[in-house]
Amino acid sequence: MIEKRDFYIDGRWTAPLAPRDCAVIDPSTEEPCAVISLGSAADADRAVAAAKAAFPAWAATPPAERRAVVVRILEQYEKRKEEMAEAISCEMGAPIDMARDSQAPCLPWHLTNFLRAFDEIEWVKPLGPHAPNDRIALEPIGVVGLITPWNWPMNQIALKAIPALLAGCTCVLKPSEESPLNAMLFAEFCHDAGVPPGVFNLVNGDGMGVGTRLSTHPDVEMISFTGSTRAGIAISKAAAETLKRVTLELGGKGANVIFADADEKAVKRGVLHMMNNSGQSCNAPSRMLVERSVYDRAVETAAEVAASVKVGPASEPGRHIGPVVNKRQWEQIQGYIQKGIDEGARLIAGGLGLPEGMNKGFYVRPTVFADVKPGMTIEREEIFGPVLSIIPFEDEAEAVRIANDTPYGLTNYVQTQDGAKRNRMALALKAGMVEMNGQSRGAGSPFGGVKASGRAREGGHWGIEEFLEVKAISGWATDLAAE
């Protein structure tokens, strides 16, 4: 078992004021892999006070110096990236190869993209030729609270902490208590990179304690949250009293629209994408909409692909999916599978219970339902597990109607060789992101949704701008030499 230091506040590791031990459970074994302490509102207050005190100097630090500090964080990661992968694998169940290849490298990927965007920022720029003495200035918003989830833990920390630091903000991070070890490593990276005391702070805790205090604290100017829609609504309500900025990246129920002329790998690609990370991704393509003329063949292919997906411990190398994060999540997914059966969907792969040969660990059988009807529970609600729903449609108009008939609007997917149809679908789908024919979004593209998926835009220019205030200035002196 790993014993970790507790909180990182004002440039040093410190114990909580009223320690509450919390075991971090390895979901592959159901055994503790670490013990941390959960903090309280008073611990959050300490961290906010440190961030507030550090803000004036950090905000006034020249952009080039802030950039240099962030580059040194990347250097620390490169020295210890195997530790990062092992921590993520242990705490949330990502298979070790996936942790090395996908989960941990989110930090250098996003950091590099942010640096590219940062170098293009014009901190004070003219309004336009029609107003020669007007300027628009970009300034850091202040102390920010960062609340991150367990499913892609380093991804979300990188998407929040790095742009906040570049923007000149000081921050307090509350990671998920399910996956705190990667966050504590990140705090070590910040310390060893020479981030000034108080600029980055970390307090472990739960949502009701530390999360609520950050959301209501009068000295916190902004909350950046990734998690469930339910929690996002609660945070928005809590933050309203202090009129702070709130950016939310929430759940999803992505539609993957497969037309008859889709490439031959489209169905397989969609199933594997759904099962990736054991289905624990907000942008998972959990609703596969298939044109009626190729529906039967797609169902058959999906069943075969799902049956071929292996499930195994996170510690083992190889191309398999691991467990889901905890018992509560496992039980919730089992409830959804039962609901799908009860409501009349046709189970074609997977199903209830642990995979064959397993009697321990929070493993879910890769599950596919066919003949799912719009309005069924498994079609409407985010399951957050390896469960795919397949729905037939007759034509483009019906595909758009079904895809958009959801409270969510994060990522939708389109598979067709018809370029004009792709473009029409991309504009008709109500989502923050649309990916087509298996092509991922480019580096620096914003990540975020609409409706119940929240309206954050994380990554690239947009990700930095979320942490900046816009100041309009008139009467700017343009010819100082003449004075």
Distance between CA 297 and CA 292 in Å, rounded? 10
Distance between CA 140 and CA 168 in Å, rounded? 5
Q: Which residues pair with 139 in a beta bridge?
A: 469
Distance between CA 257 and CA 289 in Å, rounded? 5
Strand pairing report for 124-126 and 134-140: antiparallel
Q: Which helix (H) or strand (E) holds 82?
A: helix 63-92
Cα 402 from chain centroid (whole Å)? 25
**Total residues found in the chain within this entry:** 483
Catalytic annotation present for 249: yes
Distance between CA 428 and CA 403 in Å, rounded? 10
Among candidate residues 177, 249, 291, 466, the one labeled active-site is: 249
SS3 299: helix
CA nearest neighbour of 228 among 324, 323, 150, 146? 150
Query: How is 115-181 classified by DSSP, letter by letter?
Result: HHHHTT--SEEE--TT-TTEEEEEEE--EEEEE--SSSHHHHHHHHHHHHHHHT-EEEEE--TTS-H
Q: Which helix (H) or strand (E) holds 414?
A: strand 411-415
Among candidate residues 178, 282, 382, 435, the one labeled active-site is: 282
In the DSSP assignment, the letter for residue 442 is P
Distance between CA 385 and CA 365 in Å, rounded? 9
Query: Any idea of the CA torsion for 269, 275, 276, 280, to the nearest 10 degrees?
Result: 140
CA nearest neighbour of 144 among 470, 466, 472? 466
Measured from the Cβ of residue 326, the count of other Cβ atoms closer than 10 Å reads 17
Distance between CA 210 and CA 42 in Å, rounded? 8
Rg (CA), the chain: 23
CA nearest neighbour of 266 among 240, 239, 290? 290
Label residues 8-43 b or e (16+ Cβ within 10 Å = b).
bbbbeebebeeeeebebbbbbbeeebbebbbbbbeb
Give the active site residues.
Answer: 249, 282
